[in-house]
Amino acid sequence: MDIGQVLTEIEDHVVPRLKLDVGEARLYYHLLRHSRFVGKHDVLISVAQLAEVLNCSKNTVKHRLRTLQDKKIIDVTNTGWAGTRIKVFLPTEIQGAVPDETAPQVQDIEAIDFYKDTKYRPAILEREQGRCFYCRRTLTDEDSGLDHAEPQRANGTNSYRNVVAACHSCNSSKGDDTAEEFVRKLYRRGFLGAAELEERLADVAKLKQGLLRPII
């Protein structure tokens, strides 16, 4: 087995597509390590052991086992006195987790016009977790739109590295400010706290570096 390939599939497909949180991913890695990575299909382990290894409560382990099972990443086949027998699936064995190589090629995200192509709007909204990129207010259908972090007049592009979801108020008051200038203004006007300002500035930096990729 090519473990590097498996890890790449987990990072590139399983985690974003099945929305694994850090705890679920950690548990999945641990279970893989003791099953598929050593040539077995399943692992017999107790919840108490897992709680100790993962440094969390037994309830947390049980919850994560349930969510991994719901996502069809594992199958808890038997719980008995000797522990819990868990069948562990590889990314390619999880339905819908890894794109089929024979399927049409996924569009190159760098080439997509996220401002003009409206079908990608939900992906931007989801990346922003349904909140305005600048003031973090929860967006509604009536009060949301797309905005350029770096203004178009300053050669801001329509890439996911520059297009954000914003509320109407931010959209109209930002004008030709850069995203950094604008969130500082929001801070001075009392719409953002100091910690929020730092977070917004960090997100602006991440956006520009291409680290805030929407899932398309």
Q: Which residues bind Zn ion (CB under 5 A)?
A: 132, 134-135, 137, 167, 170
Q: Residue 163 CB, nearest distance to Zn ion (Å)? A: 15
Structure tokens, 96: 């819908």
> Angle 52-55-60 (CA atoms, 0-180°, nearest 5)?
95
- Is residue 106 classed exposed, middle or buried when 0-12, 13-18 and 19+ CB atoms within 10 A define those classes? exposed
Nearer of residues 80 and 190 to Zn ion, judged by Cβ: 190
What single-letter amino acid sits at 79? T
Q: Residue 132 CB, nearest distance to Zn ion (Å)? A: 3
Contact (Cβ atoms closer than 8 angstroms) between residue 174 and residue 185: no
Nearer of residues 6 and 197 to Zn ion, judged by Cβ: 197
Kindly report the number of other CB atoms within 10 A of residue 55's CB atom: 8
Q: Residue 121 CB, nearest distance to Zn ion (Å)? A: 16
Q: Residue 39 CB, nearest distance to Zn ion (Å)? A: 53
Nearer of residues 49 and 173 to Zn ion, judged by Cβ: 173
Q: Residue 14 CB, nearest distance to Zn ion (Å)? A: 33
Nearer of residues 120 and 134 to Zn ion, judged by Cβ: 134
Closest C-alpha among 146, 148, 98 to residue 123: 146
CA 183 from chain centre, in angstroms, equals 24
What single-letter amino acid sits at 149? A
Nearer of residues 45 and 166 to Zn ion, judged by Cβ: 166
> Angle 12-17-23 (CA atoms, 0-180°, nearest 5)?
85
